[in-house]
Amino acid sequence: MVERLDFSDAALALAQAFEPDSDLCGPFVAAIGVTGAAVSTLGDPLGSETICVTDDSAAQWDEIQIDLGEGPCWEALSTRLPVFEPDLQHSSETSWPLARQALCETGLAAVFAFPLVVAGINVGAIDLYSRVSGAMSSRQVADAGLLSTILARQVLRRSLLAVESEDEDAGSSAGDYSRREVHQATGMVLAQMGITPVDALLVLRGHAFASGRPVRDIAADVVARTLDFTAFDN
């Protein structure tokens, strides 16, 4: 049984989840009160992969969506809005029909998906699953949305570290992030978005990876004010 956490404890747990084996799903289950959860990267630029699951059932439900290329997680990311299906077994909705049928056949009662986006970069989604039908309260929706914002940065950070480790193993450098212009751009992104220096550098690295350009080039665009992150949600 997952120990119940209040929102602040769950947020802190996610914010401190820097280790590769840190639990990214448990804080959601504990704070929101659902049966299970799954976190995945989806599509470009990070690829489609399950990052975290609470149990075998959540892994199965996530695998169905990734294999079929449709489902609440894909809809949440494409629209960048939460997707709510509080009564999957009796719903008249017709979206993602193949995934809907497959999920229903497993006995899943409800699923709620939240997009993971960092400064305009599509990262993936988190699905919250329940074996009992019923809608989320407005407080649960708000809490899950805020937790998803923290989670998105952790998933992006973890994915970039994995890519950089592969680059190092292959004999290529991930890039020098200590250059003066990168420092300057990090400070500008920090001011534009109201985030920490660590997350500001993460945003620069994420955009570099997504565009296939060096971090120093992205930094140069920020310093030249041709790239501005003010419009992006935190």
Contacts of 203 (CB under 8 A, 6+ apart): 118, 119, 189, 193, 195, 229
Q: The tokens of 140 are what?
A: 């649960």
**Is 226 in contact with 232 (CB distance < 8 Å)?**
no
Count CA atoms closer than 13 A to 111's CA, side-chain side. Answer: 30
In the chain, where the domains are located: 7-164, 175-223
- The four Cα atoms 67, 68, 69, 70 give a dihedral, to 10 degrees, of -130
Pick the CATH number of 175-223 from 1.10.3470, 1.50.10, 2.40.160, 1.10.10: 1.10.10
Please list the pLDDT of the chain residue by residue as tens digits (234 residues): 445 668 999 999 999 998 888 999 999 999 999 999 999 999 888 889 999 999 999 999 999 999 999 999 999 999 999 999 999 999 999 999 999 999 999 999 999 999 999 988 999 999 999 999 999 999 999 999 999 999 999 999 988 887 666 555 444 444 444 467 888 888 888 888 888 888 888 888 888 888 888 888 898 999 998 999 887 755
Pick the CATH number of 7-164 from 3.30.450.40, 2.60.40.10, 3.60.15.10, 3.40.50.970: 3.30.450.40
Q: What are phi and psi of 133, to 5 degrees?
A: -70, 155
